[in-house]
Structure 1
Amino acid sequence: MKEIGIISDTHSYIDDKIVEHLEGCDEIWHAGDIGDQYVMDELKKVAPTKAVYGNIDDGNLRVEYPEEAIFEIEGVKVYMIHIGGYPPRYTTKLKKRLSELKPDLFICGHSHILKVIPDQDRKLLHINPGAAGRHGFHRMRTLIRLRIDQGKPKDLKVIELGLRSKI
């Protein structure tokens, strides 16, 4: 069993609340718009961290992190990219990629809107953890924790980090 923290859209911001809620995770997955390497350095102090770059990330972050991450953990195939859309309205390119990869979990960010949606057509769980940073139009800063056990994601928890404007 693995405990996973899923975060996105930090936009160069990390605070004690983020760190506190990710402590105890076996891995952290950052779905892009990191903003600054400092954020990743701090997350890596908490747990091994995988990340993809987002549309605001500069050339240095784009060299360090890929556009997409494809990996398996505890029998669950994961596909992570920053801009993903929502089922069933994925872009043509993304529909093709999901059909090729057939992931069990699809992780994205970008919208700053937390959504967890079972995609019945593709037999996957779509997760957007919302935004943990201070920049953007979102009201509540969020992240997600879940467990992966015996090939299945379970015990998903939405964590509210506080209002974006009250930091």
Structure 2
Amino acid sequence: MKEVNVIVLGDTHMPRMAKQLPERLLNEIRAADLIIHVGDWQTRDVYEQLKQFAPVKGVYGNVDEPFFYGHFKDKLVLNLAGHRIGVTHGHGKGKTTEKRALDQFSNQDVELILFGHSHIPLHREYEGRVLFNPGSPTDKRRQSHYSFGKLTLFKNEPIQIEHIFFVDKKQ
């Protein structure tokens, strides 16, 4: 049974926070079957770079240029290897980023919700769903490490989910 390897990233804020994608991220992307961006790409250049490696799916964030509003939505449901995955950025008013992400999919049958906005890596279960924020590979803010996510999916098996942490965004 074929596995599906997915790289999840968000909050790249390029070129403001980095002029290029970190080498640690590029090393993983080279083996990806799919790349999911959870928003705040900032410029179309990020999308153009990523699609050179694998197909790219994603949503727009709150600081993205107009291109993203025309080509992406604020939320997305993907069916990958029989798993339903919700994708959103998580921005908005009131509530926590996590709660806003959950609310986006309150009436939909998804087992995993991918979101960004806070730049805070998160992986936890809540009421039978898994919430995952990859953090940021280029703008860690007050976090100790830069980060992104990796999903490995097989049909009829639990999704393998991991964060990949690193300290230098230039490597």
> TM-score normalised to the size of structure 2?
0.83
Structure 1 residues 47 and 153: alpha-carbon distance in aligned structure 2, compared to 1, 3 A threshold: farther
Structure 1 residues 55 and 151: alpha-carbon distance in aligned structure 2, compared to 1, 3 A threshold: farther
Q: Secondary structure at the match of 2:51?
A: helix
Per-residue deviation, 1:153: 4.1
Structure 1 residues 58 and 44: alpha-carbon distance in aligned structure 2, compared to 1, 3 A threshold: same
Match of 1:58 in 2: 65
CA distance in 1, matches of 2:156, 2:140: 35
Unaligned 5+ runs, structure 1: none
Per-residue deviation, 1:3: 0.8
Per-residue deviation, 1:100: 1.3
1:45 aligns with 2:52: yes
Deviations 1:33-61, CA, capped at 9 Å, x for gaps: 00111111111111111011111112122
The alignment's C-alpha RMSD in Å is 2.1
User: Would you say the 8 A contact 1:105–1:127 is kept in 2?
Assistant: yes
User: Would you say the 8 A contact 2:22–2:138 is kept in 1?
Assistant: no
- How many residues are treated as equivalent by the alignment? 159
Higher strand share: 1
Unaligned 5+ runs, structure 2: 92-96
1:81 aligns with 2:84: no
Deviates more, 1:6-15 or 1:148-157: 148-157
User: Would you say the 8 A contact 1:18–1:161 is kept in 2?
Assistant: no
Per-residue deviation, 1:138: 3.5
Per-residue deviation, 1:102: 1.8
Match of 2:39 in 1: 32
- Choose from 129, 137, 141 the match for 2:134: 129
* 1:1-167 map, 5 Å: 1-12=3-14, 13=18, 14-83=21-90, 85-86=97-98, 90-91=99-100, 94-95=102-103, 97-119=104-126, 121=127, 123-134=128-139, 136-163=141-168
Q: Secondary structure at the match of 2:35?
A: strand
Deviates more, 1:64-73 or 1:155-164: 155-164
